[in-house]
Chain A
Amino acid sequence: MTLQSDTLLHEDYPDAVEAYFENGYTDGLPIIPPTPEAVESMLAAAHLAGPEVLGEVPTRNVTVTAEKAAVNAVMAGCKSEYFPVVAAAVRALLQPLANCHSTTATLAGSAHALIVNGPVRERIGVVSGQACMGPGFRTNATIGRALRLVIRNVCRTVPTELDRATFSWPLRYSFCFGENEEYSDWTPNHVLQGYSPEDSAVTIMSVMRLLAAIEMAPESEVILEMISETARLYGLSVDSFVGDARGIVVIIGMEHQRRLLDDGWTKEAVREWLFERMTRPTIGKYDLKVNLAEPSRILVIAAGGPGIAESRVIMPHLAAPTHEQVR
């Protein structure tokens, strides 16, 4: 395989790590030096040729090839078998409705959630249960980091330069988790998006806000009401570019899911109920309409572990959730 990237020569491994800092290629953390052999291994694992185009950022005239994504995946610490997920995530991010330029250069500093579904989770160890959104799991951490390094190095979203985020936030280091498909018979997210249960797929969701909906009451309707109220704290405006594709993500925590399952709620029923409540007219400064076109635009995801009776709501930047099959 012939790689196209310019090469850099270093005295040794520590020298290479330092050089990537000095060249401005990292997120502030040390990287794994991307040797040609490691990059080729990534590409082989995803059956991709280096020049294959994963997508573009039209406003910036940026093209992202499989090779550049693989270089950044090595740097992030990914194992080769993770790369099919990284490549799918990059493709999803670069779909027009993911609005990559807007979501990565905004002053608001939005992040991206990368949600993994299907058998690949088990195969490579994507964590969907206890602590799935936090540190401690190589698969989640490095896949999410790889996407961010692609955004930085290939898409040119360099903080203080093209990226003018006022505060930015920690989710921009890495934010990847799986859906817990095994805890219940709820229809997995990717199946609701049209994939088969045997497929694996990723969802990319811009994250303007990650909100906690904590409700200890046992009644399902009270839990759902809290989730709806949480989303309505900020509401969701209409955006002509995103149009009817705009959506939100509701991550149902295990304690809430247990209550809902006991009462016979399906995902489809949950989103129907939430849609009716969330889209009621605005009635106050902190009770704002969530402008969604239809119930399917509420992506209900099961994740997290036992403990606090909490769910989470992701409100987007100016983008729609996008999906890609893991090939």
Chain B
Amino acid sequence: MPLITLDPTNGPLGSDAASFEMAGRPLTLAGHTLGIIANGLGQSEVMFDALADQLSKWDDLAGSVKVVKPSVAVAPWPAQWAEITEHATVAVTGFGGCGSCSTRSMRDALDLEAAGIPAVCLVHTALVPAVRALCSLMGAPDYPFVIVDYPYNPTGNWTVDECNALATQVLDGVRLRLTASGADQ
């Protein structure tokens, strides 16, 4: 006998999401202020500091402003969000290596884009499927990000040397995603 049943989900991922648009990208990072929304996982703060140093050295970044969230997988406190959005003109989020942490960091990046601030999230390769799912939920399935691969540990428990090496490794990707030259690649 035919049977009618009900869909237990809210529909396909992103079916009720608002339309998403990336913020406009500058041609270069020269003179810009880098916002850093760190989730506090492992040694990610050290890595972000090294990244900011390298962008200042090679890209004439004007400066940086960093917040460390109250917990690894939550939004920044309102005061932290205000600090970033008032001062930063480009931003980076992460890292990133836990499942809920990575997806929340991606949400931070998408929120920054919605606020008009070009952003990029650093994501470990182990967490790419989760981040893709979050992007789809938010109506941004093709939003680009920078992938960190092994041998770096997914949960950010790196040595200082590894932090510096990782900052160097992601430098080109961050530059590419935050500027007009790479936003559509």
Interfacial residues, chain A to chain B (CB-CB below 8 A): 3, 5-13, 15-16, 20, 25, 33-36, 39, 58-63, 68, 71-72, 75, 99, 101-108, 149, 153-154, 156, 158, 160-165, 239-242, 318
Contact = CB atoms under 8 A, between A and B. Distances in A.
A102 B71 contact: yes
A158 B98 CA distance: 16
Given A102-B100, A241-B74, A242-B71, A16 B3 contact: yes
Contact of A153 (B8, B69, B134): B8
A161 B100 CA distance: 12
Max chain B CB contacts within 10 Å: which of A61, A108, A154, A242? A61
Given A33-B3, A61-B138, A163 B99 contact: yes
A273 to B, nearest CB: 30
B168 interface: no
B72 A102 contact: yes
B104 interface: yes
Contacts of B72: 102, 318
Interface residues of B, number: 39
Contacts of B7: 5-8, 71
B11 interface: yes
A161 B6 contact: no
Given A62-B137, A101-B103, A240-B71, A162 B130 contact: yes
Interface in B49-107: 69-75, 97-101, 103-104, 107
Contact of B9 (A13, A36, A153, A241): A153
B185 interface: no
Q: Which DSSP category, helix, strand, loop or mixed, fits chain B's interface?
A: loop
Contacts of A58: 75
B70 to A, nearest CB: 4
A60 B134 contact: yes
A102 B4 contact: no
A63 to B, nearest CB: 7
Contacts of A163: 99, 130
Interface of B: 1-11, 13, 16-17, 69-75, 97-101, 103-104, 107, 126-127, 129-130, 133-134, 137-138, 154-155
Given A36-B4, A161-B129, A318-B71, 7 more contacts: A8-B7, A9-B4, A59-B103, A59-B104, A60-B134, A154-B10, A164-B129
Contact of A105 (B5, B17, B103): B103
A325 B126 CA distance: 39
Nearest to B40: A240
Given A101-B100, A106-B98, A106-B99, A39 B71 contact: no
Nearest to B14: A61
7 shortest interchain CB distances as A-B pairs: A241-B71, A240-B70, A164-B99, A102-B73, A105-B100, A5-B6, A6-B7
Contact of B6 (A6, A102, A242): A6
A7 B4 CA distance: 6
A253 to B, nearest CB: 32
A7 B7 CA distance: 6
23 contacts: A5-B7, A12-B3, A13-B3, A25-B8, A34-B6, A35-B3, A35-B5, A36-B6, A39-B6, A58-B75, A59-B75, A59-B104, A59-B134, A99-B74, A101-B73, A105-B130, A106-B73, A107-B97, A107-B98, A149-B8, A161-B133, A164-B129, A318-B72
A54 B8 CA distance: 15
Nearest to A104: B100
A164 B137 contact: no
Given A104-B100, A105-B103, A8 B10 contact: no
Contacts of A153: 8-9
